[in-house]
Structure 1
Amino acid sequence: MLNSLKNLFRRNLPAKILALIGAVVLWGFVMNDQNPSVNSSFTVPVYTINEPDGYKVSFDVREISLRVRAPRASFASVNAADFKAYLDLADAVEGNNTVKVRTVVPQGFEVIEVSDTVIDVLLEAIMEKTMAVDVQITGNTGVGSALEKIIPSTEIAKIKGTKSNVMKVARLVGYMPLAGNTTDFTSKIKLTPVDGDGEFVGGIDVSPMEIDVTAKIMDGAEKKMISIKPLYSGTTASGYRVSGAVAQPERLEVIGKTEQLGAINEINTETISVDGLSADFTKDVDLVLPEGIIAPNKRVSVRIIITKDQKK
């Protein structure tokens, strides 16, 4: 029996091998015909990994198109979310970087085309800065009253953003409307980062974003134009003397109670040192305001005029 089986197997062996090979080829042909490889495209978002701490990452290409190939039946079990594209920023440095796009596709799929093989990535350092709060008054108080002073809940705030944006910020401004008030009041004002020209600077986080500002209103106030008297002291350079001192402006409108205004005719400046001067000198100085007297501008510019002594 065993010999009969062996003889059966060996009989026409070459023909049987050829027939087996043909069957395999035919099976592959049939299967390929029933489940051929096809191409398709997917639009996928680009994400990043290994972002360095302390930097803002910016890039314009947020989606790419992947063209892939796989047996037609494979597409029935996948969707766009199974295809991924990412940027590895492990080796990125501050400034401009060109980063290769890396892809991940399901098993059995082949990537045959990528719309963007590299993407330009900008890394900008993030920085913080503490700035003084600049409260600007708008409008006026009611009749017979004047703004005595303002009291902000904080005089400093922090700004945060990319280094390039933070360096543009010249002032942190909040606007306080008086709105005709005749008594003390408190308002919540928003702080706005602006550049040297007063233009808004975007991309900046401000903390706190809003502050409370209390306005102290003086009742029964009047206004009066008062002369400004520059004060100076010291010794000029040998052979020179002070021949005059001029404030700009020379007169200033101040506010106060009637009895207070009646008692003053001029307001002094802080004392300016003229030690060693041999030429004209200009300096911004504060006014020395009497108690209860309010001036819209508390600083003036004073020019000290220096003259060379005439030889006798």
Structure 2
Amino acid sequence: MMNSIQNLFRRNLPAKIMAIIGAVVMWGFVMNEQNPSVNSTITVPIYSMNAPEGYQVEMEVREVTLRVRAPRASFTSVKDDDFKAYVDLAEATEGKNDIKVRTVVPQGFEVLEVSVPHVQVTLEAIIEKVMSLDIQVTGNTGAGSALERIIPDKDSAKITGPRSAVSKVARLVGYLPLANNTTDFKSKVKLTPLDGDGNIVGSIVVVPQEIEITAKIMNGVEKKLIPIKVVYSGTPARKFVVAGAVAQPERLEVIGKKDQLANMNEINTEMISIDGVQEDVNKEVNLELPDGIIVPSKRVSVKISINKVLQDK
């Protein structure tokens, strides 16, 4: 029985093999005619993988176009979301990195071309910094009143962001509007990171984002323009003399109670030593102010002119 079966298969074996090969070729020809391979393009976003913690990732290119090939029928069973492009940042370091774009496509698809084979990826460390607050007062209080002082509930805040952005922050500013108030009030003030030119710095997170400020208002006050007196002690070097001393500004508009202002005819600077000097003295100094007096600034610039004594001929 077995011999007869074996003989059946061996009979005309070359012809049978040729028939099978012909059938396979014919099947491939028919399938290629009925379901030929075609090319297509698909645009997909680039994802990042294995990004290190504590870094901001910036990619020069955010999407790529894939040119793919597959049997025509395969395109009917897939969606654009089935095609992926990504960069692996496992070996990336801070700064600029040239990373190869890798792809994932459905079974039966072949990637012929990636529009951008490599992308530049920049990693930048996220850092923190604690900064003091710069509270700016805007507007005016109501008639007959003045701002005595402000009391913030915090004197500092933390900023977080990419290293380059944090390094640009020169001031953390909050703006307090007086809004013609004549009594003490409280106000929520948002904190804004500014660079040295007064521009807002982006990519910065401020914690807390806002603070509460208590404004103390004085009532029954008046204003008076009072000259500033430069006070100094000591003597210049031998053969040198003081030729003059002026403050800038020379006068200040001060605010205070009527009876207090009535007795104020000048405002003294803090004492400045000129012992042994041989040239002009230029510096910023504090003002000596009595309690309850409000001025735009408690510091002024002074110049003490020093001249050399001319010898007799």
- Counterpart position of 1:232: 232
- Which letter does structure 2 place at the counterpart of 1:106? P
Quickly say closer, same or farther: Cα 1:80–1:275, change in 2 above 3 A. farther
- Partner Cα distance (2:278, 2:16) in 1: 120
1:207 maps to: 207
Q: Which residue of 2 aligns with 1:103?
A: 103
Q: What does 1:252-267 correspond to in 2, within 5 Å? A: 252-267=252-267
Give the whole-Å Cα distance in 2 for the aligned partners of 1:283 and 1:161.
38
Distance 2:129 2:22 in 1: 79
What is the match of residue 163 of structure 1? 163
Q: Which residue of 2 aligns with 1:291?
A: 291
Aligned residue runs from structure 1 range 60-99, under 5 A: 60-99=60-99
**Alignment partner of 1:59 is 2:27:** no
2: CA distance between counterparts of 1:182 and 1:13? 113
Distance 1:294 1:19 in 2: 110
Structure 1 residues 299 and 12, CA, compared in 2 at 3 Å: closer, same or farther?
A: same
Match in the other structure for 2:29: 29
Q: 1:274 to 1:25 in 2, by over 3 A?
A: same
**1: distance between equivalents of 2:10 and 2:124?**
78
Amino acid at match of 1:194: L
Matched residue type, 1:288: E
Matched residue, 1:174: 174
CA offset at residue 117 of structure 1?
0.9
Query: Which structure 2 segments of 5+ residues have no match?
Result: none
Give how far 1:275 is off.
4.0
Aligned partners of 1:54, 1:118: CA distance in 2, in Å? 24
Give the equivalent residue in structure 1 for 2:269: 269
CA root-mean-square deviation? 2.2
Whole-Å separation in 2 of the counterparts to 1:187 and 1:179:
11
Give the match for residue 251 of structure 1: 251
Superposition deviation, residue 66 in structure 1: 1.4
- Counterparts of 2:286 and 2:178, CA distance in 1: 25
How big is each residue's C-alpha offset from its partner over 1:101-126, in whole Å with a ceiling of 9 and x where there is no partner? 11111222211121211112222333
User: Hey, what does 1:127 align to over in structure 2?
Assistant: 127
Residues 3 and 49 of structure 1, relative CA distance in 2, 3 Å threshold: closer
1:49 has 2:49 as partner: yes
1:220 Cα deviation (Å)? 0.3
Q: Deviations over 1:130-165 (max 9, x none)?
A: 322111121111111111111122222222222332
Distance 2:127 2:192 in 1: 18
Q: In structure 1, what residue type is equivalent to 2:152?
A: P
SS at match of 2:44: strand
* Partner SS for 1:191: strand
Deviation at 1:238, TM superposition (A): 4.3
How far apart are 1:283 and its partner, in Å?
0.8
- 1:100 and 1:29 map into 2 onto residues whose CA distance is 38
Summarize the Cα distance change of 1:187–1:30 in structure 2 as closer, same or farther, 3 Å threshold.
same
Q: Against the structure 1 CA distance between its residues 213 and 27, is the aligned structure 2 distance closer, same or farther, given a 3 Å change threshold? A: same
- Stretch moving more, 267-276 or 253-262: 267-276
1: distance between equivalents of 2:299 and 2:82?
68
Aligned residue type for 1:54: G
1-side partners of 2:276 and 2:171: how far apart?
36
The amino acid across from 1:232 in the alignment is Y
Equivalent residue pairs, number: 312
For residues 130 and 275 of structure 1, the distance between their equivalents in structure 2, rounded to whole angstroms, comes to 41
Q: Which moved more, 1:65-74 or 1:114-123?
A: 65-74
Q: Output the CA distance in 2 between the equivalents of 1:279 and 1:161.
A: 48
Q: Which amino acid aligns with 1:25?
A: V
Q: 1:93: Cα distance to partner?
A: 3.1
Hey, what does 1:193 align to over in structure 2?
193
Partner of 2:114: 114
User: Which stretch shifts more, 195-204 or 298-307?
Assistant: 195-204
Give the share of equivalent positions with the same residue, in percent.
Answer: 67
> Counterpart amino acid of 2:173?
V
- Aligned-residue offset at 1:16: 2.2
Paired residue secondary structure (1:30):
helix
- Which residue of structure 1 aligns with residue 282 of structure 2? 282
Pairwise CA distance, 1:309: 4.1
* Helix, strand or coil at the partner of 1:167: helix
1:248 CA drift (Å): 1.1
